[in-house]
Amino acid sequence: MIPVVVVCIYLVIIGVIGTLAFRKSQANTEDFFLANRAVGSMVFFLSIFATNMTAFAILGSSGQAYRQGIGIYGLMASSSGFVIPLTIFFIGTRLWAIGKRFGHQTQVAFFRDRWECSAIGTVIFALSVTMLVPYMIISIMGGGRVLSDISGGRVAYALGCAVVALVVTANVFFGGMRGTVWVNIFQTVLFLLFGAVAVAVISHGLPDSFGDYIQKIATNPKTRYLVTRERMPERYFWSYTLIPLSSIMFPHMAIMCFAARRVTAFKRTVVLYPLAILAIWLPCVFLGVLGSQLEPGLKNPDGVLLHMLTDHAPVWLAGILGAGIISAVMGSDTHQVLAVSTMFTKDVFAHYGGKNKYGERGSVYFARGFILVVTLIAYVIALITPASIFELAVRFAFSGFAAMAPVMIAALFWKRSTKYGALASTLWVAAWLALTWYLQTISDGMAPGPGKPPVLIFPALGHLFERTIVNVTVYGFLPVVPMVLGSAVCMIVVSLLTAPPSAETIAKYFPGHLIESSGQGAKAEPAFEQVASRVH
């Protein structure tokens, strides 16, 4: 139980930080949700990285490397190292500027104002929350798995999930955005050190060198696929390049962009983000592959790192490293819980008159109550879902939000885009998520074994839908490919067939251009000058 005690000490420290943040809080939503838009440069980087690093990054990546091999690094980390910083630079900075100028605190608030829509904004809100809840479930599952495995099963999985959920809830409930980013400073430093320390400690406790183990894997015909791309088809591999588009579309990532004090914070983040990805993913994937030799036959490969720590590290150090994993889990979960609360308070409660009736203080109370409800729902679902952390993330959260990226890009860069184009894209994404869930459910019983070719789900349709050992594919591609491409087509075609927003609204978001609306032109410079004077 020594590792569990060390992790519990870490959780107490997190609680203390949240309490200190609560003492500095103010009873208004700008402070509770965005820390008064005053998040500094280095804190912004640490927070936005922690926001995006979940149990998926440490437990999920190592577990999938255990199953599929070292190619998982190229599959996810390499594309993420390029795509995520680019989206933060091109999209995040514009969200920051729009939030500063017009006071938006959520993506939906921006969409509603940009496209002059109310009900369609609510549809986008509903889909976003539906896709974000699986991501919250991943974090709670990861926390429960860490405490259960690191204690050798003495702490039940359900109790471990409950502990993590309670600490996260308390931190967000009392500290809001300020508590979240303060905790992130401590958490991110801890889990960034995790990979290097884990590799050093485990290697010290092994009878052979890493090179010897890798050579054994490569020379054994049954395990050679772990250091090659034998079980990673080309279409499957390239499908994953679209997954990182989901990053900036996650509500908690967008809200962090609104919270930055200055736009210069994004510059440091863009530079440091790929290095941080390398520091986390490379050792975790490598240790996952190594775990196939050190811990063969695991029923739940997502826990391979924890098994290696408990078997090959001193118990007290295993506790510290376990706390590093927990920090990655909780760093994202706090932001996810806060994001759902922010969206519900701003996009539903305030939008439909709650703020006018109950005021700022009432809105904060409502937000805190909603935090309790949504965490409880995520906890209950985490107890009953059997899915792998990696697959649950890719199948629903990542694919769905990646497919919503064309909506954000159109809103920011295409003045001719319309609310009906956004609605068409949203419905397309929702339909594909439902279809993917249905195909996954009906094909679970026909999934092929390791190394076996995919199975046709509907033989009459040929290779349209195939089932691999874990996924449904569309002509060999993951569903994210038709989801993203179809979403973009829906946005373009439907926007061209429907009327654009008013000239005033377009001038508001695209200053300095001649706007065409209903056959009439309108100069935007006066509107921009008014906005600029308000900003100054």
118 burial level (CB within 10 Å; 0-12, 13-18, 19+): exposed
Closest CA to 295 of 276, 310, 315, 279: 310
The verdict on residue 422 lying in a domain is yes
Residue 412: pLDDT over 80: yes
- Provide, rounded to the nearest whole percent, the portion of the chain with pLDDT above 70: 90
DSSP state for residue 39 in the 8-state scheme:
B
Q: Model pTM?
A: 0.83
**Rg (the chain; Cα; Å):** 23
Mean pLDDT of 44-57: 78
Q: Check residue 471 and give its pLDDT.
A: 84
Encode pLDDT of 258-279 as tens digits. Answer: 888 888 889 888 899 999 888 8
Encode pLDDT of 372-384 as tens digits. Answer: 888 888 888 888 7
Closest CA to 121 of 109, 129, 130: 109
Q: Check residue 389 and give its pLDDT.
A: 54
How many domains does one find in the chain? 1
Q: What is the DSSP string of 202-261?
A: HHHT-SS-HHHHHHHHHH-TTTGGGGSSTTS-HHHHHHGGGGGGHHHHSHHHHHHHHHBS
3-class SS of residue 517: strand
Domain containing residue 388: 2-18+36-501
Cβ(393)–Cβ(56) below 8 Å: yes
Q: Tokens 């074994």 belong to which residue?
A: 449
The verdict on residue 509 lying in a domain is no
CATH number at residue 341: 1.20.1730.10
Give CA–CA dist 139/242, Å, rounded.
22
The verdict on residue 515 lying in a domain is no
Residue 172: pLDDT over 50: yes
In 169-210, where do the E strands start and end?
none
DSSP state for residue 473 in the 8-state scheme:
E
The verdict on residue 443 lying in a domain is yes
Q: Check residue 421 and give its pLDDT.
A: 97
Encode pLDDT of 327-363 as tens digits. Answer: 766 767 777 888 888 888 888 888 888 877 877 778 7
Q: Check residue 353 and give its pLDDT.
A: 85
Residue 490: pLDDT over 90: yes
**How crowded is the C-beta side of 360, counted as CA atoms within 13 Å?**
8
Mean pLDDT of all residues in the chain? 83
| pLDDT band of 395, cuts 50, 70, 90 | low
Residues in the chain: 536
Cβ(405)–Cβ(248) below 8 Å: yes
Give CA–CA dist 145/63, Å, rounded.
12
Encode pLDDT of 427-437 as tens digits. Answer: 999 999 999 98
Cβ(259)–Cβ(30) below 8 Å: no
* End-to-end C-alpha distance for the chain, whole angstroms: 57
Residue 441: pLDDT over 60: yes
Q: Check residue 513 and give its pLDDT.
A: 52
Give CA–CA dist 171/190, Å, rounded.
18
| pLDDT band of 387, cuts 50, 70, 90 | low
Residue 57: pLDDT over 90: no
The verdict on residue 348 lying in a domain is yes
The verdict on residue 411 lying in a domain is yes
Give CA–CA dist 62/430, Å, rounded.
30
The verdict on residue 208 lying in a domain is yes
Lowest pLDDT segment from 271-285, 292-306, 418-432: 292-306
Compute CA distances 451 → 176, 420, 454, whole Å.
Answer: 47, 45, 9
Mean pLDDT of 207-226: 87
Cβ(136)–Cβ(333) below 8 Å: yes
Q: CA torsion, points 162, 163, 167, 168, in degrees to nearest 10?
A: -50
Residues facing 516 on adjacent strands: 521
Lowest pLDDT segment from 304-318, 339-353, 400-414, 424-438: 304-318
**SS3 string of 44-107?**
HHHHHHHHHCCHHHHHHHHHHHHHHCCHHHHHHHHHHHHHHHHHHHHHHHHHHHHHHHHCCCCH
Q: Check residue 523 and give its pLDDT.
A: 42
Residue 317: pLDDT over 60: yes
Encode pLDDT of 82-122 as tens digits. Answer: 899 999 999 999 999 999 899 898 999 999 999 999 999 99
Cβ atoms < 10 Å from Cβ of 472: 23
| pLDDT band of 508, cuts 50, 70, 90 | very high
Cβ(22)–Cβ(174) below 8 Å: yes
The verdict on residue 512 lying in a domain is no
Give CA–CA dist 197/183, Å, rounded.
21
Cβ(400)–Cβ(247) below 8 Å: no
